[in-house]
Structure 1
Amino acid sequence: MSTQHDPILVTGGTGKQGGATARRLLADGIPVRALVRDPDAPAARALAEAGAELAIGDFDAPDTLVKAATGARGVFVVPPATYRADGWDGDLEAQRGIALVDAARAAGVDHVVFAGIASMGDASAWGAHGKERIEQAVAAGGLRYTVLRPVRFMENYLLQGSPVDGIADGVHRHLFPAERPLQMIAVDDVAIFAALAFADPDRFHGQFLELAGEAITPVDAAAALARATGHQVRYEEVSEAEAAAIGPEIHTVWRVTRETGGWHADIPALRELHPGLRSLETWLASGGADRIRSLIDT
C-alpha cells in the first residue's frame, strides 16, 4: 500500500514537461524520484540539488524501469520522442511509453499520469500515433490513470533553428492561420495539472484533459510579444507549398489545422480547476518576455 510519503517517479525530468513537473511537486513538498540516464549531466545535478532522488534508468532497458518505479506511488510518463530524417518515429516512442506502463504495473504503482499531445484529426497522419498508443496502454493498464493533452507550448517562442516557430529577424513563422485563434499553454501549467492529478487520483482517474491557457490569433500574439519585449515581432503564415516542402507531417498539420479548426481545450473549465492558469500576457509578464528579449538581443 503506497502512502503520501512515497515518491512520484518523474520521467523526462531533464526536459521541459518532466522538469517543470518535478519542480512543481518538490515545491509542494512531494518527494520526487527522477529517472535519468546520466546522473552527472547538468540538468540531472540541478534536480538533485533541488531535492529530487535520482534513479538511473533507460526507456530502452525495461528492467531499469521496474527498479526505478519500485516503491513509487505514482509515475509521470513522458517518454523521449525520436525524430528521424523521414519524420517522427512514433513506433519507438510507443514502445518506450508502453514499457514504462508495464514497469509501473509490475512495480505496483498506484497512479500513472501521461503527458501526450492535444487531439486534432488523425493522430497517425502527423506523428502523434505513438502518443495515441501510449494513451491506450495507460487506459488498459489496470492502474488509476490520468491523461494530459497539452496544446502548443508558449515556450516554443524560444525555439531557435526550427523551420517553423521561434522568432528570427523579428518574424514568427508558423503553420497556423493568421486570423484564427490559436490555443497555447505554459509548460509550468502542464506541471500544475499533473500535480493536481497526483494530489487527488480518485478525482482525476480516467480523465483525458485537453490543456490550454490561451486562445489568441497568431497576429495578436505577435503584437503582444512586441509590446512585452520592446522589439518588433510580426507573424508570417507559412503557405501550403512551404509546409509540404518541409515534410509530409508538417504538411498534414497545416491541412488538418484548417480542416478541423485546431485544438479545442475548454479553457474556462480548466481555469476552474486551476485559477492561476496563465494567459499569454501573464506568461510574458512572469519571465517569458525577458527570455525572448534575451534571445533577440543576442
Structure 2
Amino acid sequence: MSTQKDLASSRHDLILVTGATGKQGGVTARRLLDTGRSVRVLVRDPESAAAQALAAAGAELAVGDFDRPETLAPALAGVGAAFLVPPAAYGPEGWDVDLEVARGTAFIDAAAAAGVEYIVFTTVASLTEDGQWGAQGKRRVEAALRASGLHWTILRPVRFMENYLMRGFPVDGINDGVHRHLFPADKPIQSIAIEDIAVIAQLAFDDPARFHGEVLELAGDALTMTEAATAITAATGHQVRYVEASPADAEAMGPEVAVVWRLSREGRGWHADIPAVREIHPGLRTFEAWLAESGAARLKSLLD
C-alpha cells in the first residue's frame, strides 16, 4: 500500500473503468481518454458496438464479468486505479441487494489482491439516510470499500438530466408531450449531467490525495418538474407538460417505487451541496446549460 506522499505524487498510469458500455462508465472512460489517461475497460462482449467504439477511441478492452469473479483478476493486472460501477440487480421482486453487494465486494477484493491503490466508486444519492430505494446494496459496498485498506472516493450522484432521453419506461422520458414522474410538480428536484460526474471522477484520478476519503453528493441544479418541462419546451419548440404519477400508479410499479412517491411528499429529497460541487468543478452544468449544450438537440431528435 502506498503512503499518502506516494498517493499525492502518483496518477496511477492505467485506470480500469467498469460499466464502460453504460452511461456513467462510458462517459467517464471517454473523459479520461480525452485528457490523456491510459484506460482499460471491463466488458462482457468485446464485439459489441459500445465496446468497439471505446476501443476505437483508444481504450484497451478486458473481458470480464462481475458474476464470474475469476475473470476480474486478469482485468485488474497492472492497474493502478479503478472506476467502479457494480451492476445493480433489479427485477419483479425489487432490488436484489445481496447480489449487488456480492458483485461490488468481489471487485474490491480482487482489486486489493491485484495491488490496485485507488478506487472511485460511483453509487447513488438517497432520499433518506438509510439508503431506501436502490441504495441499500450500494451503502454496504461503500462500507466494504472503506474497510478494504484501499484509498477511495465515493461519488453519490442524484437523478441524471439525461433521464429525459429515456424511452419506454413508466416514469421519466417524454411521451406524447408528457413527462411523467413520481415527484410533486412544485418541489425542486436535484439533477446532474452525466458528463459532470465524469469530470469529477477525472479530477479525483488526477489528484487522489485531495479526494481520498471523500464522500461527494453530486448535483448541478434543482428545478421543479414543472420548471424543467417549461425549459424543455422553450429549448426544443415542443410543448412538454409535467404529470405526477398517482399513488395507485406508483403502487403498481412496486413497493419500493411507492416509497419514493410517499417520501417525496413528506419533504424528503436529495441534498447535495451544489455550490460546494461547483467549487470542485466550476464548469458544473445547470439544466439550461445542459439543454443548450446537447440536451435540447437530443430531445428534439426524439420529439420531432
Q: Over residues 249-282 of structure 1, what are the superposed CA-to-partner deviations in whole Å (9 max), with x where a residue is unaligned?
A: 1001111223343000000111011010001111
List runs of 5+ in structure 1 lacking aligned partners: none
- The within-5 A match list for 1:152-171 is 152-171=159-178
Q: 74, 77, 80: which is aligned to 1:67? A: 74
TM-score for the superposition, normalised by structure 2:
0.95
- What is the 5 A alignment of 1:178-193? 178-193=185-200
Matches within 5 A, 1:27-46: 27-46=34-53
Deviates more, 1:32-41 or 1:254-263: 254-263
Cα deviations across residues 40-85 of structure 1 (Å, max 9, x unaligned)? 1100000000000111111111121121112111010001112211
Q: 2:240 aligns with which of 233, 245, 253?
A: 233
Deviations 1:158-188 (CA, angstroms, capped at 9, x unpaired): 1111111100010000011111111000011
Structure 1 SS opposite 2:156: strand
Matches within 5 A, 1:1-298: 4=11, 6-121=13-128, 123=130, 125-297=132-304
Q: Secondary structure at the residue paired with 2:61?
A: strand
1:127 CA drift (Å): 2.6
Instruction: Provide the C-alpha distance between the structure 2 equivalents of 1:245 and 1:39, rounded to a whole number of angstroms.
Output: 38
Partners of 1:67 and 1:222 lie apart in 2 by 47
Kindly report the root-mean-square deviation, in angstroms, between the aligned alpha carbons of the 2 structures.
1.4
Q: Which runs of 5+ in 2 are unaligned?
A: none
Q: Is the 8 A contact 1:166 1:172 kept in 2?
A: yes
Q: Distance in 2 between matches of 1:127 and 1:296?
A: 30
Which 4+ runs in 1 deviate beyond 6 A? none
Percent identity (aligned): 62
Check whether the contact 2:153–2:214 (CA below 8 A) recurs between aligned residues.
Answer: yes
Q: Residues 11 and 205 of structure 2 are in contact (CA less than 8 Å); yes or no, is this contact kept in structure 1? A: no
- Which range moves more in the overlay, 118-127 or 214-223? 118-127
8 Å Cα contact 1:120/1:260 also seen in 2:
no
**One-letter amino acid of the counterpart of residue 142, structure 1:** G
> Secondary structure at the residue paired with 2:103?
helix
- Provide the rounded CA distance (Å) in 2 between the counterparts of 1:16 and 1:126: 20
- Secondary structure of 1:131's counterpart equals helix
Question: How far, CA to CA, are the matches of 1:81 and 1:118 in structure 2?
Answer: 14
Amino acid at match of 2:169: S
How far apart, in 2, do the equivalents of 1:117 and 1:199 lie?
Answer: 22
Instruction: Say if 2:126 and 2:133, in contact at 8 Å, map to a contact too.
Output: no
